[in-house]
Amino acid sequence: MTSNPNLINPFWRSLLELNRTLKQTLCLLSTEAEVPPSAVSLIFKMEHDTGMKINCVAEYLGMTIGAASNLLDRLEEKGWTQRLRSEEDRRITYVNLTPQGMEQLLAWRSRFAGHAEAIFGKLDPQRIEALAEAVSDISLYLSEYNASYEEGKNTK
């Protein structure tokens, strides 16, 4: 393990720049979809995480429960999501994609695939696999750090 600032600082700057440009790209693509980037992110997340609680939606998007609820209102108005009360505990509300929401997701996936090809098409498949693995590792390290940091904050 290294704590060499000559390695870590440029790496950290690269991650911050990646974050900025990725957000910019997502904004451009979500403008096409006429929803905020957080909505696009959530719809793709809900494909694999069915029945998310509203507090989990808020946590995933890094926003308050009120802001997440407002976003879900907009998605419900479009017919893309629905809220379902828990049978066991009526205080708990789950959010799911509707069939229309799944259709929208598939349309975005098709459209975004063209953009992804334009962005990453110059890379050979092995390079893309290596980058995907590195990004996955970085995401895992950050998630583990964030969880332990939050846990430490909550025990003080």
Strand, coil or helix: what is 81?
Answer: strand
- Model confidence pTM above 0.75: no
Cα-Cα-Cα-Cα torsion 37, 147, 58, 19, nearest 10 degrees, comes to -10
Distance CA 97, CA 78 (A): 11
Topology at the third CATH level for domain 5-121: Arc Repressor Mutant, subunit A (1.10.10)
Over the stretch 115-135, which tens digit does the pLDDT of each residue have? Answer: 889 989 999 999 999 999 999
State how far Cα 43 lies from the chain centre: 9
Count the alpha carbons within 13 Å of 122 in the hemisphere toward its beta carbon. Answer: 2
The domain spans of the chain are 5-121, 123-156
Mean pLDDT of 61-77: 94
Predicted pLDDT of residue 86: 85
